């Protein structure tokens, strides 16, 4: 039998049901990319240097490849400041130098070894500040014949103010921190001047540093220092202020005051306004919420000496207070009188006594230090007042009749006819 072999023709399938060619799947080649990771947009930086970091994908940074022959998938990074080339690196970070104060655009781009930039870069817009600060006077090493030393300051490209000092930390805003012999003693909110006090006898190093509202130094730090000498026997007046910024949750603020090499006799100023004269500790009343600058000026007879100290106070907005509202323009009354008050951040409770509840209670009426009435409403009627001159005082009390700490009160001088 003869077997006939029929050749088989293998034909590749090149068409679909419609007869169109079928294309093989296309695999996309990974595209190199660069992305800045810090700083973030809208962040600020102090100083003339800005350190940036970035992530590189599908690309190898090759330190040996700068200015070499092109190698696929390898190369380096070009850096641009405001569109101007400022350097190149094969590291995963770069430091921009000599950056002036202002708004800037920082950009990084991938480049091959022969500096061909084939891919899209990454950029960030940000603000930089280069604060310039110095102590203008007094001169370094000077002898100062006073326990308080006024400093004249020079500041640029930074905002120092009371508003900036006590709010949320914000870029380009803050206050001064003052150190004496490396101990923090004070703060400053006037951009052009501050007073360091009290300085005892001997030599001291005074350092003033810029900080933000939280007290954190700038990065890099900005400060200046000088040395001063205070002669032996220099008069001193001192108000206790530890910490150097006191926060008070009351409208009444006690001040502990001492003096050395002088009698304790001083004028008291609150926010630049003369509040009174004292010869011992003081008690400030009706202090409004917010920041206050309290200054003491030593007196000799009726003359103010150039001997001062001060304290910075911050009074919270929820502090309690009480005010006598009865009209007493001519404080002459009879044996009976109606007495009215108003309170702030304090709820009067007609049910006197009981368990203490924060911010609740009543008020007590004292005549020359002796309690004569109490009330849980805004008014009361006084009877049986004796003739003569008296100190009338109203004081807030807790529900259990204990006074607030410190006491919160108002008082007037009156004459009973």
Average pLDDT over residues 92-101: 97
Average pLDDT over residues 342-352: 93
First to last CA, the chain: 157
pLDDT at 15 over 60: no
Residue 218, judged by CB atoms within 10 A of its CB (0-12, 13-18, 19+), counts as: buried
pLDDT at 79 over 60: yes
- Higher-scoring residue by pLDDT: 12, 292: 292
pLDDT at 409 over 80: yes
- Higher-scoring residue by pLDDT: 381, 30: 381
Q: Give residue 8's pLDDT.
A: 38
User: How far is residue 333's CA from residue 415's CA, in Å, rounded to a whole number?
Assistant: 6
Strands 50-57 and 33-38: antiparallel
Question: What φ, ψ does residue 328 adopt, rounded to 5°?
Answer: -135, 50
Q: Which CATH superfamily is domain 321-416 in?
A: Immunoglobulins (2.60.40.10)
Average pLDDT over residues 59-71: 84
Average pLDDT over residues 101-129: 95
pLDDT at 319 over 90: yes
Strands 93-96 and 122-129: unpaired
Answer yes or no: are the C-beta atoms of 308 and 296 closer than 8 Å. yes
Q: Give residue 350's pLDDT.
A: 87
Q: Which tokens in the block code for residue 95?
A: 């430091």
Q: Give residue 332's pLDDT.
A: 79
Q: Give residue 23's pLDDT.
A: 52
Q: What is the pLDDT of residues 371-394, one digit of tens each?
A: 999 999 999 999 999 999 999 999
User: How far is residue 63's CA from residue 21's CA, in Å, rounded to a whole number?
Assistant: 47
Q: Give residue 13's pLDDT.
A: 37
Q: What is the pLDDT of residues 228-275, one digit of tens each?
A: 999 999 999 999 987 788 889 999 999 999 999 999 999 999 999 999
Q: Give residue 28's pLDDT.
A: 55
Q: How far is CA 328 from CA 179, 285, 343, 370, 408, in A?
A: 48, 19, 18, 21, 20
Q: Which tokens in the block code for residue 341?
A: 């008050």
Residue spans in the chain of domains classed CATH 2.60.40.10: 33-129, 132-230, 236-315, 321-416
Residue corresponding to tokens 């006590």: 166
| DSSP element (H, E) containing 253 | strand 253-255
Q: What is the pLDDT of residues 125-171, one digit of tens each?
A: 999 999 999 999 999 999 999 999 999 999 999 999 988 888 899 99
**Please, which pLDDT band fits residue 356 given cuts at 50, 70 and 90?**
confident
DSSP 91: S
Which of 123-137, 196-210, 342-356 has the lowest average pLDDT? 342-356
* CATH number at 236-315: 2.60.40.10
Question: What φ, ψ does residue 64 adopt, rounded to 5°?
Answer: -85, -5
Q: What is the pLDDT of residues 262-282, one digit of tens each?
A: 999 999 999 999 999 999 999
Residue corresponding to tokens 């005010």: 323
pLDDT at 97 over 50: yes
Q: What is the largest CA-CA distance in the chain?
A: 157
* CATH number at 33-129: 2.60.40.10
Average pLDDT over residues 215-230: 97
Average pLDDT over residues 37-45: 90
Q: How far is CA 23 from CA 12, 19, 30, 119, 276, in A?
A: 13, 12, 21, 29, 96
* CATH number at 132-230: 2.60.40.10
pLDDT at 217 over 90: yes
Sign, CA dihedral 226-231-237-239, equals: positive
Q: Which tokens in the block code for residue 25?
A: 């799947």
pTM, entire model: 0.77
Mean pLDDT of the chain: 90
């Amino acid at each position: 039998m003869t077997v006939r072999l029929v050749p088989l023709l293998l034909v590749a399938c090149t068409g679909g049901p419609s007869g169109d060619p079928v294309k093989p799947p296309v695999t996309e080649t990974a595209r190199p990319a660069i992305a800045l990771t810090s700083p973030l947009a809208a962040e600020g930086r102090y100083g003339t240097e800005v350190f940036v970091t970035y992530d590189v994908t599908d690309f190898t940074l090759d330190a040996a490849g700068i200015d070499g022959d092109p190698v696929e998938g390898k190369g380096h990074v070009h850096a641009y400041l405001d569109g101007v080339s400022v350097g190149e690196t094969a590291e995963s970070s770069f430091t921009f130098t000599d950056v002036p104060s202002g708004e800037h655009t920082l950009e990084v781009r991938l480049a091959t070894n022969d500096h061909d930039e084939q891919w899209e870069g990454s950029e960030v817009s940000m603000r930089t500040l280069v604060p310039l600060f110095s102590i203008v006077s007094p001169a370094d090493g000077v002898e100062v014949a006073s326990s308080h030393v006024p400093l004249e300051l020079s500041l640029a490209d930074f905002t120092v103010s009371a508003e900036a000092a006590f709010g949320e930390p914000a870029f380009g805003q803050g206050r001064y921190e003052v150190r004496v012999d490396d101990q923090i003693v004070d703060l400053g909110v006037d951009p052009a001047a501050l007073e360091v006090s009290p300085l005892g006898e001997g030599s001291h190093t005074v350092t003033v540093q810029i900080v933000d509202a939280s007290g954190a130094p700038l990065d890099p730090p900005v400060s200046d220092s000088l040395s001063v000498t205070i002669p032996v026997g220099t008069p001193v007046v001192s108000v206790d202020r530890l910490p150097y910024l006191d926060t008070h949750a009351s409208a009444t603020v006690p001040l502990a005051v001492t003096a050395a090499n002088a009698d304790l006799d001083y004028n008291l100023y609150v926010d630049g306004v003369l509040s009174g004269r004292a010869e011992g500790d003081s008690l400030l009343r009706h202090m409004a919420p917010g920041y206050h600058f309290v200054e003491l000026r030593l007196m000799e007879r009726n003359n103010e000496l150039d001997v001062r100290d001060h304290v910075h106070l911050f009074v919270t907005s929820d502090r309690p207070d009480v005010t006598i509202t009865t009209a007493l323009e001519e404080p002459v009354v009879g044996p009976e009188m109606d007495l009215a008050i108003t309170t702030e951040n304090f709820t009067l409770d007609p049910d006197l006594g009981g368990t203490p509840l924060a911010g609740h209670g009543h008020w007590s009426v004292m005549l020359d230090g002796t309690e004569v009435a109490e009330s849980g409403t805004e008014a009361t009627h006084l009877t049986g007042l004796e003739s003569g001159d008296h100190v009338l005082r109203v004081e807030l009390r807790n529900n259990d009749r204990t006074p607030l700490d410190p006491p919160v009160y108002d008082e007037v001088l009156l004459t009973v006819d």
